[in-house]
Amino acid sequence: MNSDAYAKRILTLIFCLSLFNYIDRQVLYAVFPLIKADLHLSDAQLGLLASSFMVVYMCFAPFVGYFGDRVKRPLIIGASAIFWSISTLFSGLARGYGQLLLTRSAVGVGEAGYGTVSPSFLAEWFPAERRARVLAMYALAIPAGSAIGYLLGGTLGQHFGWRNAFYIVAVPGMLMGTAALFLKETPEKLERSGHIPFSGYKALFANRTYMLVCLSQSIGTFAVGGLAAWMPSYFVREFGVSVAKAGFLFGAVTVAAGLAGNFAGGWAADWLHKRTRRAYFVVGYLSFFLSIPFGVSAVLTSDLNVSLAMIFFAEFFIFAYSGPYHAAIVETVPVTMRSMAFAVDIFIIHALGDAVSPFLLGVLSDSAGLPFAMFAAMLYLLLGGVTSILAGEAYKKDFPNAHT
């Protein structure tokens, strides 16, 4: 099999793994009402199930990233997928809240292992001029997997019970994880293998371009996380729609915007890459700046359909930076440190992004109203555009041989 055909096989497998990464993550939220009734839990306890996953996911990533640059990445990808799938399976076996909290935290361990090494592993199988598109396709699994997770979780949970929902979605990840164990390491990694000490993380924090990319992504993640948490409530309060309809409408818009925005951003970056090596950052700051007027319009309008249309375009542009900025990390970090780089990226974007935005916007909503909180979240994207411009300038200065 030629290298191009093998690379496409890897893209297919990694995408499918990413899909179930998010299915296994989001299925929990779809069965919240069933778990609440069965285990007699409070909303705070349900929320802690989600928070425990995110905290473990963030904190475990840097440790896996260290080993990801020392061990063959297919082993980590496969083992991580098997681990999070087994943890999902055991979520269905949990007989009490403590056990369920433990198993959902364990899902975070497995997904952190996968998330730190898979982007660089996938990107290295493709030439630089195709990487933004490839990583945009990789990122498509986020909205698609999330939507399928909600759909499968709700359908399976309603017809077969919440425990069986976990059992069923766990199986594909175990099978695909086993297949991933037998993948080859990339030629680029084999040719430049090395052992970076744990202190090598310091070099990442000294990489101005990389840090500005991470900061820019955290700003986008803050906005998307805030929208995900509060926009359905905004529709209920401002337009009087039902809770079920609000969730469906926002979910459908987000999936469509995520799919279209990821694809468009990756394609645009690869097309522009032939003309300027700063293409990733140009697409990055344009995506932030162009999203703002649509997001603001979504809050200012008094028509539900107009608001939905504006949210679509706002999220379309917000999602557009994903592929280019994943490719930018691969381009600006040595191959021997890329797993560590994605590990730190995961920590930063969630710690400064969706781990805090629902709470902070809730506080702002209590004091000034939900429309103002949503308005502020959209204006915050201005900062993402500024940091993206600064990232491009830093790249031009710090990587002169790559700039044209």
Considering only residues 58 and 385, tell me which one the structure prediction assigns the higher pLDDT: 385
Amino acid at 85: S
- Residue 251: the pLDDT is 79
pLDDT tens-digit series, residues 75-106: 999 999 999 999 999 999 999 999 999 999 99
At 404 the pLDDT is 43
Give me 111's structure tokens.
């997904």
**pLDDT value at 401 more than 80:** no
pLDDT in tens, 170-185: 999 999 999 999 999 9
E strand or H helix that includes residue 401 = none
Write the DSSP assignment of 268-293 as a string of letters.
HHHHHHTT-TTHHHHHHHHHHHHHHH
Between CA 367 and CA 376, with CA 370 as vertex, the angle to 5 degrees is 85
Tell me what the pLDDT averaged over the chain comes to.
88
Quick check: pTM over 0.85? no
Q: How many CB atoms lie within 10 A of CB 69?
A: 25
Cα R_g (the chain), whole angstroms? 21
214 or 254: which leads in pLDDT: 214
DSSP state of 335: G
The mean pLDDT of 223-235, rounded to a whole number, is: 84
Residue that the structure tokens 């970090």 belong to: 333
266 with 137: CB under 8 angstroms? yes
Domain ranges of the chain: 3-195, 202-398
Please determine, looking at this structure, whether the domain spanning 3-195 carries the CATH number 1.20.1250.20: yes
Per-residue pLDDT at 343: 86
Domain 202-398 has CATH 1.10.132.20: no
Does residue 195 carry a pLDDT above 70? no
Whether residue 230 contacts residue 363, with contact meaning beta carbons closer than 8 Å, is answered with no
**Which residues are within 8 A (CB) of 62 and not within 5 positions of it... i.e. 6 or more apart?**
201, 340, 343, 344, 347
User: pLDDT class for 2, splitting at 50, 70, 90?
Assistant: low
| pLDDT confidence of residue 1 | 57
Is 403's pLDDT higher than 60?
no
Q: What is the pLDDT of residue 209?
A: 96
Is the pLDDT reported for residue 33 higher than 60?
Answer: yes
CA distance linking residue 332 with residue 341, whole number of Å: 10
Taking 90 as the threshold, does the pLDDT of residue 317 lie above it?
A: yes
Say whether 202-398 and 3-195 share the same fold: yes
Task: Report DSSP letters for 97-119, one per residue.
Answer: HHHHHHHHHHHHHHHHHHHHHHH
Burial (CB count within 10 angstroms: exposed 0-12, middle 13-18, buried 19+), residue 237: middle
Residue 62 has pLDDT above 90, yes or no: no
The reported pLDDT for the residue numbered 190 is: 78
CA dist., res. 240 & res. 373, Å (int): 19
- pLDDT tens per residue across span 269-298: 989 988 888 899 999 999 999 999 999 999
135 neighbors 70 (Cβ within 8 angstroms): no
pLDDT score of 255: 86
Q: 2 in helix, strand or coil?
A: coil
What torsion, rounded to 10 degrees, do the Cα atoms 63, 66, 72, 74 define? 40
Residue 384 has pLDDT above 70, yes or no: yes
Q: pLDDT at residue 155 above 90?
A: no
Band of residue 243 on the pLDDT scale cut at 50, 70, 90: low
